[in-house]
Each structure stands twice: as structure tokens, then as C-alpha cells.
Structure 1
Amino acid sequence: MVVHRTRNILLLIICLVLISAGTGFAAKVTASAERDRVVDGESFQLDLKVEGGAEGDANLEALEAEFEILGRSQSSQMKFVNGDFSRSFVLSLTLMPRNIGVRQVPSICFGQDCSQPLKITVLPAGSNTGNRGAQDDLLLEVEVEPETVYVQGQILLTVTLLSRIDLLQAGLSEPQVEGVETVVQRLGDDRQTQVMRNGFRYQGIERRYALFPQQSGALRIAPFQFDGQVADGRQRRFDLFPRGGRQVRRHSRPIDVRVDPAPDSAANRSWLPALELELADDWQGKTQEMTVGEPLTRTLSLRATGLPSAQLPQVDFDVPSQFKTYPDQPLRKDFSSDAGIVGSLEQKLALVPTHPGEYELPEIRIDWWDVSSRRWRTVTAASVSVEVRAVAETKPSSSEPVADEPVEFAEKSQVGETGTPQTMKPVTRDPGVWPWLTLLVGLGWLGTLFLLLKARRGNSPVEPSDDDAYVQEKQAYRDLQQVLKNGNPQRIRAALQKYIKTTTTGGENLSLEQFAARAGDPLRHELETLDASLYGKEKPVMDPRRLERAIEQWRTTGARERTRDELPGLYPPK
């Protein structure tokens, strides 16, 4: 047992001695390329095999001057055969030529041990290397339309990658524009396509961009670069971890575009170079009917083909002074189409009439430059007629009380069973029965007086008592408080309209603006803030608690009674 353990210790010592001795000998470095002829834009692999003990890492500075290193890997091997020990490792580099022509892989050194240089012939793109015409299997094409454009006009850029081989990985650079400041927008997702080139069918991936130069001058689109990986179909013997494939690279040609300035005629106009421009108005073709104090929204939509929404101007609404206006925030959107980008601008304007009458909103005209015909065009929204009605007054219904009519006493009258006064027939006087007639007349007068009093009590209008009005106002105010807690401006405005009706004599139907003008500050200010939050351009934040405090103050300081006194009563004074 002791002898066996001693033998193992001796073997371990011998191995360590051999390893130490091996490191003292010079290492052998061998460089080999998978092929000596490559096409520009295709990668190849360079293997550096080091046998023995190498001092330090490889110096690759001279190599990187001629070739781009896309990837690297390393494997090692140790052998112990018949008492002989050896070790080696292989450094594998994936290289892409930087220039065409006969290029040289320089001597690569690990410390003092160096490899021999190699010559690599780099052929121009499209050359046949005997490797299945690899360059023709992958094409990168770029097109622009048009090649001459006005400043801020659209340039449609299309990049297409054509392939007859399977791609394991793919990456395409973004557009690089030189010469003038340019806005670049990508149009939608990539498209799949099939095309024929030189009698071969290719699978294509198409990517489109819209370019908008902001200055006139010479514009250049730098070459696009595609980097990908394709299966090379080769695997080394005993390679448990095969490499993914061969790296490939393609470059497109650079493209030059001339950008012309806007014509002199655009000096006093909005400059809108587009393929098409449309203006839509939801008030067209009909007379609008409105009521004083009630808002109504007008919507204008501008849609331009070949122009982004950011370049569309806001439409100026020319509105008579008898209207209050509350513009909404413009809504801008961009869409993609076959013609390029489509920009849209939607504007909403809430109008609140303050006086009844008939009005006309003038037409709206927008000039734009047709890039196809190279001339000015105009889109128009016709004028609109508006009829504004006054606030409808509340009319008494058949169930509501009516004022008393005077009772005629020119003739003696009686009231029948139906309660309707009837004219009494004259009584003939008979001197012979005068005492009886006097008694009868007296009784008739008493009966008539009784019936008149009864009829007057039944037919006289029942005016609402103060208690009933108080209960109605109290209930409406509780409903308003509940809505104020939710904080919805639209529902608050509707609840306020109902509450206002309970605070006016006879349930007068006032608009919110009329009520605010009579109520005074601070309630008037809070009601104006409410309307601005619904229809205003800036849309200030409406504070429900502050509005509730203003209403409570108005209810408790006597302002409510003054508001009621200013309103016309339903029952005329007697």
C-alpha cells in the first residue's frame, strides 16, 4: 500500500518537472486561413495554433489595420503519451477585410514567438470566388423618390435586403444624412417581398423611411451597412460546439438629393409642400341651431399626404363677438401609407352664444403647395349660418295655478253645482206679496254670498308656499353636493342647472352664464372656471370644494334673495 502511494507521488513529480521543462522551450506559432480568396463584404476565419509554452497574449494591432475582428474564440489541448507531455492551444479569429486587393495577414507574435505572414486576395463585390457565387446570394438596394425636393418636402427612402440564403442573424444600420438638417421618420413595420434579379428569385425585406430636409442645399444619404450571419455548411471533425456560421456584410451606394428653397410666392403664406391636403368641417351643409348660454362644439380636421402633423398649422377661427369661444388642445397624429407619411390635425372649438339672432361664421381658406404639379392650391370650408334662440321661458301648464279673474257684480249671480257663476234672472215685484219677496231676496243674497265665498276659495290659485320652495331648494342642493364630491365637471354643470331652477321665482329657466352674472363674485368666478375646464383651451383645474364654498356663501349671505328679486315672477302683483 505504501509502495503504491509512493509510485503515484513520483509520477506527479515527473509530470511537474516535464511541464516546467516544457515552458523553457520556444513555442511554435502557425497561422492558417480557411481560404486565400474572399469577396469584399464576407468574413473568413484565421486560426493561430500555438504549440508549447507561449509567453504573453497575441499582439493584434498590425492585423486590425487591415482586417476588422468580428469575433474570437480559443481552445486548448494537452497530451501525455509514452512519457512525452505536450500542450497546445488554437486562437480562432473571424476577420472582415477593410479594403479590396491583395492584403497581407501580418506576422502575429505571442511574446517572442511569431507566425509567418499570409496573403489574402480580396475581390470586389460581385466577383465569383468559386464559392457558389456567394455575393449574388445577398444584395442590399436603396432607392429614393424624388431625387429633387423642396425644403420641408417628403423624400421617400426605401432600403431592401435581397437574399437567396438563410440568414441566422441580421442587422441594418439607420439612415445617416449629411449636408442639411433633416427629420427622419420610419414608416411602419418591415415588409416581406419577392423580386427577380438576373433571372434569380430573391426573398426581400423592405424598410421605408420618410425624410424631411429643413434647409435647402445638397443632401447626401450615407451608405447603409448590413451585418449578418449565414450558415457555411462546414463543421470540423470532433467539433462538439460548431460555430454558428459565416459573417457577411453589405454596403449600399450613397445617394445624393437636391433640396430647393420654397418659391418666392410663399413669402406671405403658410408653406405646406404636400401631395394632397384635405379640410373637413362637421358643421358643413346645414344651419346650426343654438341657444343662448348653451355650448356647441365645432370640429375641423386637416389631413395632409406627404407631410407630418407637426408641420400643419392651426386653423384660425373667425367668430363674431356675440360668441364666447373655448378652444380645445389640438390633436396631431401621423400614419403610414403607400405614398409615405400622412399627418392629421384635429381642432375642436366650443362656442357659447351670448345674444340671440342670426349669424354667419366666415369661410376658412388654407393655401398649400402641390409638389406633384408644382403650383399653389387652396382647400376651403364654406361659411356656416347659425341661428341662436333666446333661453326658453317656462310656460304654466294646465296643472299649474292661474290668476283669479274678477267677479262681475253688475248683475246678481249665483254659482251652480259645477262652481261656474250663472246670471240670475230678474225678480218681478208683486206689491201684493212684497214682504215675502223681501224675505226671499234677503235669503238669496245670503246664499249667493256663501256660494261666492266657497267658489272663490276653490278656484283661487294655490301659490307655492315658502316651505315647499325651501324643501325643493334643499333637496337640489343636497344632490349638487353629492355630485361635487365625485368631481366630474360635466355632471356638476348639469346638477347646477337643476339647482338654479329651484332658486328662481317660478322655476325660471336661466342659463348658467345668466345666473353667474346675477350671482356675482366669488360664485361667478367659480362658474366661469367650471366652463373653462370643460371648453377652454388651457383647461384650468376646477376645484369642487372651492365651488361648493362659493355656493354656500351665496346661500347664506342674502345674495340668493337678491338674485330671486331680480328675476321676473310668475304671478303678477295684485
Structure 2
Amino acid sequence: MVTRLLGSVILLITMMPVWAVDQLSASVDKNPVLVGEYFTLTIEANGKVSGQMPDTSALSAQFVTSPVSTSSRTSIVNGSMSSTTSWQMQLLSRKAGEFTIPSFEVAGHQSRPIKLKVLARDQDSEAQQNIFIKTELKPDTLHVQQAALFTVKLYLGQDLLDGQLSAPQMQDAQIAQLGKQSEDYEIVNGRRYMVVTREYLVQPQKSGTFTLEPPIFNGQIREGYRRMAVSAVADSFEVEVKPIPDTYAGAWLPSELVNLSEEWQPNEQTVTVGTPITRTLTLTALGITKEQLPDIQVPDVDGFRTYPDETDRKQMTRDGRVISQLIASYALLPQTPGTYTLPEIKVPWFNTVINKVQYATLPSRTIEVKADPNQVSVAPASVVNAPQQTATQAEPHIVTQPADKTWLDWALIASGYVLWFITLLVWFITRQSAKVAPTQSDSAPQTPNEAQAIKQLKHAAQHSDPGQCYQALKALARAQGYDHIHAWRHQLSHELQNEIAKLQGALYSAKQENVDLSVLYQLIAAQHKQVKNAKKQHLEPLY
């Protein structure tokens, strides 16, 4: 038995080198086919194939092609061995007409070319009424890098078992799906359809005239007890793409509408030295992506320290248009009294409706900065030498300011020391309470995000890490329902606002600010404890 098996193996080994391809054929499973309907091309070689495969690259010029799958089989009948290798791929034509699938070559053998007929779809056919696609492109005339919204709606009038909707294609363009598809129902000509909607962002990268090929649907439906293949395809779009004008200078911003607005907190024309101001700039543009929005350059102003705060970019779709926003916040800290004019800000953009360069502008703004009444600077007493006196006079005559002026200065100084003592006392009591009962604040209900942010703030303060401390403050602001730290900061006490402004200075200013992170943490913890205690007092009893 062993001898016979060994002999068979030796026979197989000796026979293998004589196998060779003796025939190559190509065939399709459908002919004719409909526009947008997938069909299968099979190339088959009889005989041994050693790592070879047919070149199918020429097919992509006429058809939409899928990857090639390879399979092989070997059979022995009455001691005679045969081998077959097959290559299969899915093809689809977007246009009607007569096409020729070329011949293929493997190991010196060639297949015969195939004449294929592609038929146009009958718009009134029952199949077209059961499943069809509608598309819309807004706007349909574009400039280079201008973003258009391509909306695809697949209407299904029958129960779908499975299906595949391909992506649109366009030469020299970036195409990306926006979000996930949505499903809804519509009534068309008295018939109820399930509608699958997808939105695509189309951005051409070169000028010229291009064809936007729409998605193609292929799937299977149940009709009675049978599974039936169905397909649908929409009409293609001819898109004209205009070039960037030679006269345009600056960051290229093609849009139908651009707006630049600002918000001030506090929104006052007169402020006090040391009072932090938050300036929030919002740049909104239609028909471009959020990545295309340029950074807004805010000029420095003598007498102010400017600290960049948060920057946020958003993108959405409304009424068939892409809308993008850039929200940039800056903290301004006035240093010296006076009247200051903040210069205007201009952002150039190209109006694609009137083909003209325009500017989104913020006008200049005048701000008056007053001295802080709590920072009293006492004028030194004037010393005047008396005339030459007799030898018996030992001391010079000292002439001081009037009595009422001296009394006012000393009153201001005393009030300043009283305020300073009260602040120090509150801080000391808060700190001692935190040391004695560190877990007391955790006993009240709070969201996990708030607790995590305060814990992160404490850890950053203990390790003297300003960057992590600022990130913890932003997390705490979000946990309390604020999108930006500047909106949350203006709900805090004046003392906390100043400490946060110092932290921003330590992070962003060329001249480093001195900030005590432990004081900042204690103030935040004290305020958080007060808010929770107030909530506990207003809770109604539970029954």
C-alpha cells in the first residue's frame, strides 16, 4: 500500500513540469446589459499557470471595474490530471452603445475579443419606476477649490434584500461623503418610497470642463419567492470649473457669501485697568470647507496685552449649501489708562456670484481705559528747606499738603488694606476648610465631568503645570454647559477672572506673568462648593 502511494506521488511530481496553458478563453454572463448594470467577466486558462495573470488595465477606460479574484482547481480522472485557473471581475458601463472587450494574453495564449452591447434604460419601464436615483449639485458652476454639495437620493419602491451604492466620481476633484446616510419616506406620483439620502462634498482642483459621474446602485429584491437583481443609475453632470483670477492676492477664498462679526465681553466702551476683556471673532463662509478658512490676524495695540484663547472650526449643510465657521477668541488685558483705537480687521475673499474681490471687514473700535480706583498711588510729601535760621533752631521747616487732602489719602489707603485683609481672610478660611474636610465637596451630587475636571485642576496645581491647569479649566467650563472658556469666565468673580488672565499671560505672553496655581485652584474649589451648597438648600424633600 505504501509502495503504491509513493509511486503515485512520484508520478504526480514527474507530470507537473509538462503542464502548460493550452487554451485561454473569456466570457461574460450577460449580453446585452443595461446601463449601470453589473456583469461578470470570466477569463479561464486550461493548464498550469505559474504566477501569471491577464492584464485587465485597459478595461478601466470603458467600464467601472472591480478587483480581480483568482481561483484554481485540479482534477484527476482515470489517472489523467487537469488544471484550470480562472480570473473574475465585475464590470459596469455608464453609457449605452456597443463596446469591445479586448483579448487577453497568458503564457503566450490569447483569448478572443467580446462584442458587448449596452442598452439605455427605459424611463417608463416598471423596473425604473420601482427603483431610481435623483441627484442635485449646488452650485453647478464652480471655481477651483470651491466646495459644492452633491445630494444623492435613492428611491426604493420594493423590499430590498441587499444592495450597494457606489460613490460619485470626477476627474481632478476631491469627493468625500458628509456624515452618514439618512433614511426617510416620500410619496411620488401616489406611491410610497423609502428614500436613502447621501451628501457628498465636491471640490475641483483644476479648471476646465469635467463630468461628474453619479453613484450607481446594484442590489437584490424579493419578488414572490424569488431573489431578483436590480440596478439604477442617474444622469451625469457636466461641471464647468473656473480658474483662480491672476489678479487675486492672499489666501484663496472662493465663496458666495462671507461675513465677519465680533462679540465683546464686557460690551462696554469704558473699562478699568487690569479688567480682562474677551473678544470673539466669527468668520462665516458659504461654499467652502472649514479647513479653507484663514486664521484671523489681530494686530497688537500698545497699552494692551493680547492672549490668544480658543479657536474652533465648524462645518454644516443647510438648504443644499456647505457653511463653515471659524470662531477665534482673544483675551485683552488693558495695562495703562488712556484712549485707544483698535484698528479694523479685513479678510479678502472672492465673490463667485459677481466674480469680484471683496472684503469681510470689522471697523475700528475706540476704548477708554480708566485707572483702577483700588490701586492708590500716594504722592510723596513735599519737603521745602526753610530760610537760614539762627543757630538755636535745630530742625528745618516742613511744609505738607493740606490737611483735608492728607485725610482723604489715608482713608483710601486704609480701605485698601481692609479689602486686602478681608480677601486674605476668606482665602485662609477656604484653604483650611479644604484641608480639614477634603472629601466634603465630593458628598454633594455632581456630574462626573465636573469632578474629573476639578481633580485634574488640583493635580496640575500641585505639579505647577500651567498648560494642564488651563486644559482643566476648559474641561470644567464644558462640564458646566459653556462652549468656550471666555463665556464661562465672565460668570466668575472678579478675582477669579484676574487669576485666569494671569494664567493666560503665563502661557501666551512674551513677558511671563507670575501666577499661583494653588490660589487659582482654591478659588475654583471654593466657588464650586458654594454652588453645590446653594443647590442642596433649594432641593425639595423627597417622599
Taking structure 2 as the reference length, the TM-score comes to 0.50
1:290 Cα deviation after fit: 1.7
Q: State the match for 2:212 in structure 1.
A: 223
The one-character-per-residue Cα deviations of 1:41-75 (angstroms, maximum 9, x if unpaired) are 4332244666xx72546873489557756433435
- Give the partner amino acid of 1:344: L
1:103 Cα deviation after fit: 3.9
Q: State the match for 2:334 in structure 1.
A: 352
Q: State the match for 1:78 in structure 2.
A: 75
Once residues 113 and 218 of structure 1 are traced to their aligned partners in structure 2, the CA distance between those partners, rounded to angstroms, is: 44
The one-character-per-residue Cα deviations of 1:318-352 (angstroms, maximum 9, x if unpaired) are 85x5x242332572423324142222232313323
Give the alignment partner of residue 277 of structure 1, picking from 255, 259, 265.
259
Q: State the match for 1:506 in structure 2.
A: none
Q: 1:273 to 1:379 in 2, by over 3 A?
A: farther
1:37 Cα deviation after fit: 0.9
Pairing 1:412-561 to 2, within 5 Å after superposition = 486-487=463-464, 534-535=504-505, 538-539=508-509
CA contact (8 A) 1:226 1:249 kept: yes
Once residues 371 and 78 of structure 1 are traced to their aligned partners in structure 2, the CA distance between those partners, rounded to angstroms, is: 67
Aligned length: 386
- Give the partner amino acid of 2:47: A
Give the alignment partner of residue 28 of structure 2, picking from 33, 36, 45.
33
Q: State the match for 2:141 in structure 1.
A: 147
Q: State the match for 1:91 in structure 2.
A: 86
Q: State the match for 2:370 in structure 1.
A: 387
Give the alignment partner of residue 158 of structure 1, picking from 150, 162, 173.
150
1:93 Cα deviation after fit: 1.9
Task: Provide structure 2 residue ranges, at least 5 long, that are not aligned to the other structure.
Answer: 224-228, 379-423, 432-459, 470-499, 516-543
CA contact (8 A) 2:21 2:107 kept: no
CA contact (8 A) 1:327 1:535 kept: yes
Q: State the match for 2:311 in structure 1.
A: 331
SS of corresponding position for 2:121: coil
The one-character-per-residue Cα deviations of 1:189-242 (angstroms, maximum 9, x if unpaired) are 5444566789874633322326498xxx945455347477634999xxxxxxxx
Using the aligned pairs only, state the percent identity: 12
SS of corresponding position for 1:172: coil
CA contact (8 A) 1:37 1:120 kept: no
Q: State the match for 1:300 in structure 2.
A: 280
CA contact (8 A) 2:307 2:509 kept: no
CA contact (8 A) 1:107 1:114 kept: yes
The one-character-per-residue Cα deviations of 1:15-47 (angstroms, maximum 9, x if unpaired) are 959x969x7999676655322211344332244
1:301 Cα deviation after fit: 2.0
SS of corresponding position for 1:534: helix
CA contact (8 A) 1:309 1:345 kept: no
- Give the partner amino acid of 2:262: A
Aligned-residue RMSD, C-alpha: 6.1
Q: State the match for 1:461 in structure 2.
A: none
Once residues 540 and 222 of structure 1 are traced to their aligned partners in structure 2, the CA distance between those partners, rounded to angstroms, is: 53
Once residues 110 and 30 of structure 1 are traced to their aligned partners in structure 2, the CA distance between those partners, rounded to angstroms, is: 10
Once residues 266 and 140 of structure 2 are traced to their aligned partners in structure 1, the CA distance between those partners, rounded to angstroms, is: 37
CA contact (8 A) 2:42 2:88 kept: yes
Give the alignment partner of residue 343 of structure 1, picking from 325, 342, 363.
325
- Between Structure 1 and Structure 2, whose CA radius of gyration is higher? 1
The one-character-per-residue Cα deviations of 1:428-447 (angstroms, maximum 9, x if unpaired) are xxxxxxxxxxxxxxxxxxxx
CA contact (8 A) 1:45 1:92 kept: no
CA contact (8 A) 2:261 2:281 kept: yes
CA contact (8 A) 2:55 2:104 kept: no
Q: 1:540 to 1:484 in 2, by over 3 A?
A: farther
Q: 1:367 to 1:227 in 2, by over 3 A?
A: closer
Give the alignment partner of residue 268 of structure 2, picking from 286, 292, 299.
286
Pairing 1:400-415 to 2, within 5 Å after superposition = none
Q: State the match for 1:458 in structure 2.
A: none
Taking structure 1 as the reference length, the TM-score comes to 0.48
Once residues 204 and 388 of structure 1 are traced to their aligned partners in structure 2, the CA distance between those partners, rounded to angstroms, is: 64
Are 2:239 and 1:255 aligned? yes
- Give the partner amino acid of 1:141: T
